[in-house]
Amino acid sequence: MSVKLPVLGLVSHQRRVCQLYKSALRNAESFMSNRHLYRYQATLLRARFDANKNEHDMIKARKFLTDGEEELFQRQHGIPRKFPHSPGGVAFEREVIPPDWVLDHWHPLEKAQYPEYFARREQRKKEFVERWEKTYGKPTAEDVHH
């Protein structure tokens, strides 16, 4: 069994090696709480990658890569460390970005605090409606009721 990295389409050998290296570094980081121990392990890991860097025989290079992916899979951390705002992190998509239509429901006194912004916004909304009607035509009574 090997590590299944997220792949969209074909991935070159060089790209797979880079993904393996980064995944191995992140895995080592999950195991090491002390920065000095992690840096030592990262140096050893880099030396292992550099030892096979100039391999021109693609059969051997592919074997090194699949063996490395297998080793990473076998040694992966049970609870990998994730960045808080990255997918899988504790703060991922916690901040809700309100949709644009929320501004239409602001109280007039709130809008009065930003007169230039709301004047420009109203002008852009009119331009958008004009462009829409020019492209698709005006809505009919039947369209409005559906």
Q: Which tens digits make up the pLDDT trace of 29-50?
A: 999 989 999 999 999 999 999 9
Q: Which tens digits make up the pLDDT trace of 6-19?
A: 656 788 999 999 99
Query: CB–CB of 89/16 below 8 Å?
Result: no
Written as tens digits, the pLDDT of the chain (146 aa) is 555 556 567 889 999 999 999 999 999 999 998 999 999 999 999 999 999 888 888 999 999 999 999 999 999 999 898 889 888 888 998 988 899 999 999 999 999 999 999 999 999 999 999 999 999 988 887 877 76
Structure tokens at 113: 């605090």
Query: CB–CB of 75/3 below 8 Å?
Result: no
All residues at 6 or more sequence positions from 29 whose CB lies less than 8 Å from its CB, including other chains: 38, 81
Structure tokens at 12: 């070159």
The domain limits of the chain are 1-96, 100-145
Mean pLDDT score of the chain, rounded to an integer? 90
